[in-house]
Amino acid sequence: MNNVPRPGNDGARSPQRAPAGSRGPEQAYPDPPRSWTRAGILIGTWVAAWAGVLVFGLGLQAMAHGQDDDPVLPGDSHAAVAGYFDSIFVYRDLSDAAALQCSDYNGPPPSELLAIVESWESANGERSGIATIDVITDGHRHKVTAVYGQSGSPSRALFWGEGAQEGDSYCVSQVTDREPDSSPGSEPDEMTEAPGASESVSDFLAHIFRDEDRTAAEAMQCTGYQGVALTDLLAIPASHSHEGGGETLYDRTLHPRVAPDGMNEFAPMDFFHAEVTLDKNSHEFMVMYDPEPGQQCIAAVFDNW
């Protein structure tokens, strides 16, 4: 019997109809029906999730910022008085200054003190190019010199401040522009100094760390000057390079001291413990001033006490 292929059949099997209910691979997981409502819900969920992450991150940042901004409570009356005048003249933050006042503060309000600089600016038509504070602690007194104006011809305002303890920190109890009574009946000073000694040391430090004026600083040195070389002192403010293009904030405080052990041969000298702050970097020095007639100059600067 001959196997003759049927017409229309080339040897391949005829396609079979798939059983009802069966699906091909491409139909195993069909796409869900398109719906704008579903799309809106998905987009809304995505946006809400990222918004939550953003809010959480901002909250952490705000907490960290708040912790950084917590004020450091003054540990002594000197720090309270220095911080008070810095807030007014250097940072112009009257609220910070008010926070440093004692509950029974006696003296002009911060706005009245700041008006001294603002009056100069109004009269000269320009903002004060310098704003520094010198605080000289002599026993129970804090002699404060506010320096403002321009470095070539600075103006000064002189005050006396007193601090007191309230709770765990110190605050400013009194500010006056009149020198306190220094009659024999008043409280004795911790250390006395020759007239003009503290002012001369303040000017010397300002020439170096604020003005970076070598010529002016050299003119105040004694012939036999000892200690840190002027070049090395001038390298300190130069290293700051006025970060960000702004002016370096300069501050200094002086504490009259007796001659340290082992330096009694310099007893005729006036000794000062100087703290110099450039922006937020502090440097400490021992400065010796020769008050003898015909001298009245900076005898030595050492970078340790």
Contacts 24+ apart (CB under 8 A), 162-166: 162/77, 162/81, 163/74, 163/76, 163/77, 163/78, 163/80, 163/81, 164/77, 164/102, 165/77, 166/102, 166/103
Domain over 191-305 is classified CATH 1.20.1070: no
Assess contact for 98 and 110: CB atoms under 8 A.
yes
Residue 124 is predicted with a pLDDT of: 82
How does DSSP classify residue 19? Answer: P
Residue 127 is predicted with a pLDDT of: 82
Assess contact for 146 and 81: CB atoms under 8 A.
no
Written as six digits, the tokens of 281 are 């970097």
Could you please state the CATH topology (level 3) that the domain comprising 72-184 is classified under. Nuclear Transport Factor 2; Chain: A, (3.10.450)
Q: Domain locations in the chain?
A: 72-184, 191-305
> Does the global pTM surpass 0.75?
no
CA dihedral (172, 177, 180, 181) in degrees, to 10, reads -150
Residue 97 is predicted with a pLDDT of: 93
- Dmax (CA) for the chain in angstroms is 150
Measured between alpha carbons, how far is residue 85 from residues 114, 146, 147, 191 in Å?
Answer: 9, 8, 11, 23
Residue 136 is predicted with a pLDDT of: 77
CA dihedral (113, 118, 121, 125) in degrees, to 10, reads -160
Residue type, 249: L
CA dihedral (198, 199, 203, 205) in degrees, to 10, reads 20
Residue 293 is predicted with a pLDDT of: 76
Residues of the chain with pLDDT under 70: 1-74, 138-140, 151-153, 179-195, 241-249, 258-268, 305
- Equal CATH topology for 72-184 and 191-305: yes
Residue 187 is predicted with a pLDDT of: 40
**Strand (E) or helix (H) holding 241:** none
Residue 66 is predicted with a pLDDT of: 45
Assess contact for 296 and 223: CB atoms under 8 A.
no
Encode pLDDT of 88-127 as tens digits.
988 899 999 999 999 999 999 999 999 888 888 888 888 8
